[in-house]
Amino acid sequence: MSRPPLPYERDPKSIYAASFATVRAEANLDRFTPEMQAVVIRLIHACGMVEVADRIAYSANAAVAGSTALAKGAPVLCDCEMVGAGIIRRYLPADNQVIVTLNNDGVPARAGDIGNTRSAAAVELWEPHIEGAVVAIGNAPTALFHLLELIDQGFPKPACILGFPVGFVGAAESKAELAAYPRECDFIALRGRRGGSAIASAAVNALSAGLPEIAS
């Protein structure tokens, strides 16, 4: 027996428009600049939780700094493949490199040498690329902690740190450290345990292009 078509929205532009309108109606966006509002809307869209707007920590110039860096061709350094996979390449304004070093040769041995995780060891391989770059961390708290340690030791500074590690051990603490002591780096972070690769890549997409799905 055939069934009638299920009643759901099929038009992509209408779906995006309704989604973003729902976020604007339900989330508390008043404290954000227009540039940051676009970032926060896309973060919420990626996770479906409007309440994360109340947990966003950021530096005043973060959205502009990140967007400007990308427009000038800065690379995006990601802590895991899933963050890199979620970045919409056609939105990148300058055919920017997306770099993930987690699975590079030598990372496991380096992790043993430094007594830390592979994610932390992989951050050390960012040194040739990180000055003026956009960093997107959406998995490992140790990656964010170690990046901050390396900056303390004289590591080049990125233009913007997108801090969205997730989990029960170190995620909240690493983002609290970033927010309290950003090392003169612009940053956007989601306080607490929540985070993840989808949110980190959504932040990159927002810095790259804003909300082009609903642009006239």
**Cα gap 24→175, rounded to integer Å:** 25
**Cα gap 202→208, rounded to integer Å:** 10
Query: Which listed residue (20, 36, 44, 45) is catalytic?
Result: 45
For 56, the enclosing helix (H) or strand (E) is strand 56-58
φ/ψ region of 167 (left if φ > 0, alpha if ψ in -120 to 50, else beta) reads left
**Cα gap 15→60, rounded to integer Å:** 31
Closest CA to 96 of 56, 116, 53, 66: 66
Is residue 146 part of the annotated active site? The answer reads no
For 127-165, give the DSSP string.
TTT-TT-EEEE-S-HHHHHHHHHHHHTTPPPPSEEEE--
Chain center to CA of 162:
4
- Work out the end-to-end distance of the chain between its first and last CA atoms, rounded to an integer number of angstroms: 43
- Positive or negative: CA dihedral 56, 167, 130, 90: negative
Chain center to CA of 192:
15
Q: Which residues are catalytic?
A: 45
